[in-house]
Amino acid sequence: MFLSLFIVNQSGGLVYHRPLSPLAPKIDTNDWLRIGSTFHSLHCLAAEAAPVRLPKNRNQRTGADDGIEVIDAGGMILQCLQTRTGMKFVITSTKTKEDCDLSAVLREVYLLYVDCALKNPFYELDMPIKVDLFNRGVDLLIEQYHSSGGSSRR
Amino acid sequence: MNYGRSNAQMNILDRPLPKVAWRSNDQGTVSLSAFAYLFSELVQYHQNKVTSISDLERRLEEAGYNVGLKAVELAAFRSKEYKRETRLMSILHFVSGTIWKSLFGRAADSLERSIDNDDEYMIVDYMPITSSYISVPSDLGQLSVDSYISGIICGVLQSAGFPARVTAHNVAMDENEMANAVASSNQLLVPRTEKAVFLCKFSREVLQRDAALER
C-alpha cells in the first residue's frame, strides 16, 4: 500500500508532493517543504558517512550521485530514485506481503514527469508542479498498481 | 544554393530527414518527443510576447498558416496523378485524408457537417499531436494550442482556393470515443479526455461557387 510521493529538485526545494492512499499521513505544506529539504541534505550526508564510496561519488550506470536509495524502517519503506540531473523521486509505502517493485514505480513516475511536465510549455523548470496531466497520470498509475496487485502494467 | 555540397557540409537544418530502412513510408519521420519539445518552445516564445489568450492563438495560427500553404504544394508534387480539387467535399476529404496522413501519419478521425449552419464543417481528431503533452492551466481558460493545426488547415484551404476561417475547440469525449481513442493509440501514458474539433467556416463566395458547380 503506497503512502506518499514527493519530488525534490536539484537545489533541494520540494517540487511535488501527493498522498497516494487514504493511509497517507496528513502533512501541512510547510512541513512537506521541510521534509523535502531535510531529505536532500540527508541524501548528501549519507554518502560521506558510508563505509564504501563509489568511484567519483557517482553511480556510473545511472549517473546518479551517491546517496540514500532505500530507508527500511519498522513500519514502512522509503525508496528514492535520483536522476542524472539531480532530481530525486521519493516514494513511501507500507510493508505488505506482495513485494511491489518500488523502483519500477519511480521509473514510471519519472517517465510521467518527462512527458507531462517537461514537454508542457506552461511548466517552469524547478517550480512546483501544478500540471493537471501529471496529477491524472500519477493517480492512474497508482490505481493500476493497486488493482493489479503490484504487477507491472506494461 | 546547396547543389554540389555533401550532407556533412550542409547546415543541419537543411539536410534531408534520415530515411529509416524498416519504416514502410518513404518519407523521413521525426520522433514525437522532438516535435513536442520544439512545439513547447514555440508556445513559450509567443507567450512571452503577447498579452491576451486570443493573441497567442492568433500567433500559433499564423505559424501554422505558412506550413499549410506549403503542404498543399508538397502533397500535389508527391502524388502521382493530382487533379486540382474544385468541389467543397473533395477538398475537405483531401484535408482530412491526404494532408493529415502526410503530416501526422494517419487520417483524421471524422469529418462532419454542422447542423445549424450550412457553411460550417468540422474535422475531428482524437489525438492531435500538438496538445498530447500539454495541459493548459486554469488561468488561461479556453486556450487551445491546437490553433497551430487550425492554422495549417486554413493555409491549405486558402492555397487550394477555398478561403475559410478555421478555429480549434477542445470538446470532452464521451465513453465510446474514449474507448476508440485508447484502442488506437498506445503511445500516451495518460489517456486524453478531450478531442480536438476544427471548425471550418467557409466564406460566402466559396459556397456560391460550389452551388453553381452543382448545377
**What one-letter code names the amino acid at B173?**
M
Say if the Cβ atoms of B33 and A136 lie within 8 Å. no
Q: With a CB-CB cutoff of 8 Å, which residues 4-63 of chain A face chain B?
A: none
Say if the Cβ atoms of A115 and B133 lie within 8 Å. yes
Contacts of B43 in chain A (CB under 8 A): 121-122
Q: Residue B108 burial by CB count (10 A; 0-12/13-18/19+): exposed, middle or buried?
A: buried
What H or E segment, with its residue span, contains residue A105? helix A102-112
- Alpha-helical segments (H) within chain B: 32-47, 53-78, 88-94, 100-104, 147-159, 175-184, 204-214
Say if the Cβ atoms of A115 and B137 lie within 8 Å. no
pTM (2 d.p.): 0.85
pLDDT in tens, B146-178: 999 999 999 999 999 999 999 999 888 887 777
Closest Cα partner for B179 from B163, B195, B200, B165? B195
Is residue B12 predicted with pLDDT exceeding 70?
Answer: yes
Q: Is the dihedral of CA B68, B73, B79, B81 positive or negative?
A: positive
Contacts of A105 in chain B (CB under 8 A): none
Over residues B58-62, mean pLDDT: 93
What H or E segment, with its residue span, contains residue A154? none
- pLDDT tens track of chain A, all 154 residues? 889 999 999 899 999 999 988 888 899 999 999 999 999 999 989 888 888 888 877 777 777 888 888 998 888 899 999 998 889 999 999 887 666 788 889 999 999 999 888 889 988 888 999 888 899 999 999 988 888 765 444 4
Of B33, B42, B190, the CB nearest to A116: B190
How close is the nearest chain B Cα to the Cα of A135, in Å? 10
CA distance B198 to B159: 18
A-chain residue closest to B192, CA distance: A133
ipTM: 0.83
Is the minimum CB–CB distance between A154 and chain B shorter than 8 Å? Answer: no
Q: Supply the angle between the helices A102-112 and A132-147 in degrees, to the nearest 10.
A: 150
Question: What pLDDT was estimated at residue B184?
Answer: 58
Cell of residue A98, nine digits: 506482495
Over residues B115-129, mean pLDDT: 89
Contacts of A120 in chain B (CB under 8 A): 40, 133-135
**In this structure, are residues A17 and A92 in contact, taking their beta carbons and an 8 Å threshold?**
no
Is residue B7 predicted with pLDDT exceeding 60?
Answer: yes
Neighbouring-strand partners of residue B195: B171
- For B75, residues 6+ apart whose C-beta sits below 8 A from its C-beta are B82, B94, B98, B99, B102
- For B190, residues 6+ apart whose C-beta sits below 8 A from its C-beta are A112, A115, A116, A133, A136, A137, A140
A128 in helix, strand or coil? coil
Say if the Cβ atoms of A119 and B37 lie within 8 Å. yes
Is residue B26 predicted with pLDDT exceeding 90?
Answer: no
Question: What pLDDT was estimated at residue A64?
Answer: 81
Cell of residue B33, nine digits: 518527443
**What one-letter code names the amino acid at B81?**
E
Query: For residue B157, how far is the Cα from the chain centroid?
Result: 12
Is residue B24 predicted with pLDDT exceeding 70?
Answer: no
Question: What pLDDT was estimated at residue A153?
Answer: 47
Say if the Cβ atoms of B136 and A137 lie within 8 Å. no
